[in-house]
Chains A and B, each alone.
Chain A
Amino acid sequence: MNKRVLKSRPLVLGGFIVISVVMVAVFAPLIAPMDPNSQSLENRLSGWGTPGYILGTDQYGRDLLSRLIHGARISLLAGVIAVAVGAVAGLVLGLLSGYFGGWVDLVIGRIFDVLLAFPTILLALAIVAALGPSMTNLIIAIGVATTPHFGRVIRGAILAVRSRDYIVAAEAFGASDFYTMWRHVLPNVLPPVIVTTSLGIGSAIQTEATLSFLGLGVSPPTPTWGNIINDGQAYLGIAPGISLFAGAAIVVAVVGFSLFGDGLRDLLDPRVRK
């Protein structure tokens, strides 16, 4: 197993990026050279390489590198919590749907169909429109939009193991539905959930960035990668670095999560492994 992990280039590279981004987010106050909100108007819109400001400053003279480092916290936190919300909801609904079948499956399946009928960004926008822009509502919006993706994956995985001998045996021994699902079904559907989680965090980071860019996510002055791009849009001609570096941070994080997810899939899915 360990050899296979180390041999998988996407897993190692993706894992390295993911761990780096997580470390930056966790230790942001220690790593960031300055307070992300401290303004220095005489140094506003300095380009990259300015002494004291490696990546330059924004329109209020705030240090861009410090804002990007602190932005990693919010962007990653929003992505991880939103996907956790979607994963738990999708897991519960997918388990119920796949395990019980019949009308439960029909009703839950229809709910998933309806949620999937909205492009992710549109569903998130509609929810934020109703609930109002805030970090919590953004997480709820992305979580709801993510739920059917998890639900479908889990339902499919359960249908694949539902009629296996060990499930039938557990039921024959009189195990309750809850016990069978918890002890026998859940552990066998976890690999696809782990893969979907990794890929989902990348998409959630993108959706968070999009909503914050539109001004419907986390409000300024709290830095997120999305609202830093938004800040920089008005100064593209004189300080393109603001939007450029914030976008690059998103690209690196999303590439990391997607490589890590792809690598995990190769490792955990026996069909791909063969």
Chain B
Amino acid sequence: MLKLIASRILAAVPTLFGVLVATFLIVHLIPGDPISAILGDEATEEQIQTTREALGLNDPLYVQFANYLTQVLQGDLGTSISGRQPVADQIMARLPATISLAIAGVIASVIIGIPLGMLAATRRGGKTDFSALLFTTVGEAAPAFWTGILLSTVFAITLGWLPATGAGTPGDTWSVIRSLILPATALGLAGMALIARITRSSMLEVLNEDYVRTARAKGVREWVVITRHALRNAAIPVVTVIGLNFGVLLGGTVVMETVFARPGIGSLLVNAIFARDYPVVQGVTLVIAVSFVLVNLVTDIVYRFLDPRLRDEVTSKA
């Protein structure tokens, strides 16, 4: 198992290195002189020099990259141009709001997706199955930010049940949870389609297995057959999709934080793009991409661990 984990981590190293190169290149992709693009034409010579120094643009490209790499590995993501604060500090202060939203989004997608998939599988070919298909297709097609706006219009603006903006009062758990419900549901509705579809197809496969037939023949109640015998065995691919969804929802938080004015790293990124604050853009992009790679890595390992066939395959190869 340790060998498996080590091999997967080693395989992720070149990708992480590539992610560093890509985020480093963001500033160098700016057409023309990045400094005048950032500061505009009316900047003073002093401002130009300070910004050039802050972005490390005075050195040759390979030196700049080596410096960037060294800094990042030490946890230094540079200094924000507009806020003059360390980017890492800004990200760390806002990260909990983003992670809690992504986790809440995954929970919502599971709460909606798994029962929907189970229902569709047990009523295969019927009206319920078709309705579930329709619901997931529309849920997947609707942009998450639009679903967020609709939920906000109904439950925050019209009914006044839940807050339309913010991340709740720090320290007040109930207020934090209330502020999460609408954005997490919008993210969950976007993410549930894949979970429901995989749960349905995976359940359909196991519902035909002998052990399910045996359980039914023994007179076990249908509910127990479905939850204890079928769902447990259908869970492996579903777990993988949930893991992959987490990474995607992490990307989805960027726009959702803007819709609900939540102070996370997604809204930090969008504001930084408008302010042309490139160190912040680089820092946030790097953090989200690295988290995405790491979540996929953990999902891959968990998947192989959960499925004895894959585990044996790796062990026998090793």
Contacts and interface: CB of A to CB of B under 8 A. Distances in A.
B99 interface: no
A213 interface: yes
Contact of A114 (B18, B254, B255): B18
Nearest to B142: A251
Given A127-B29, A130-B30, A118 B18 contact: no
Given A121-B254, A122-B251, A210 B143 contact: yes
A121 B141 contact: no
B68 to A, nearest CB: 15
B258 A254 contact: no
B285 A250 contact: no
A2 to B, nearest CB: 26
A111 B141 CA distance: 29
A110 B26 CA distance: 19
A215 B272 CA distance: 13
A115 B23 CA distance: 11
Interface stretch (B39-47, B50-58, B146-154): B146-154
A126 interface: yes
A233 B149 contact: yes
Interface string B144-186: 0110011011000110000000000000000000000000000
A254 B141 contact: yes
A209 B144 CA distance: 11
A250 B152 CA distance: 19
B138 to A, nearest CB: 6
Interface string A167-210: 00000000000000000000000000000000000100010011
B289 A118 contact: yes
Interface in A224-258: 226, 229, 233, 236-237, 240, 243-244, 246-247, 250-251, 254-255, 258
A228 to B, nearest CB: 11
B111 interface: no
A237 B154 CA distance: 9
Main secondary structure, interface of A, reads helix
Contacts of B289: 117-119, 122
A210 B145 contact: yes
B250 interface: yes
Interface residues of B, number: 49
A113 B14 contact: yes
B126 interface: no
B269 interface: yes
Contacts of B29: 127, 130-131
| Contact count band on A | 35 or more
A215 B255 CA distance: 11
A213 B144 CA distance: 11
A213 B145 contact: yes
A8 to B, nearest CB: 15
A259 interface: yes
Which of B21, B138, B149 counts the most chain A CB atoms within 10 A?
A: B149
Given A236-B152, A258-B140, A113 B15 contact: yes
Contact of A240 (B16, B18, B153, B292): B153
Contact of B141 (A119, A213, A251): A251
Interface string A40-77: 00000000000000000000000000000000000000
Interface string B10-39: 000011101101110011011100000100
A244 B153 CA distance: 10
B137 interface: yes
Given A126-B281, A131-B31, A247-B150, A118 B143 contact: no
A236 B149 contact: yes
A122 B251 CA distance: 6
A246 B278 CA distance: 32
A121 B18 contact: no
A251 B138 contact: yes
The 5 A-B pairs at the shortest CB distance, nearest first, are namely A119-B251, A114-B18, A247-B146, A254-B141, A130-B29
Given A119-B250, A214-B258, A214-B270, 18 more contacts: A111-B18, A118-B22, A118-B292, A121-B254, A125-B269, A125-B270, A213-B255, A229-B149, A237-B157, A243-B146, A243-B153, A246-B146, A247-B146, A250-B143, A251-B142, A254-B141, A255-B137, A259-B137
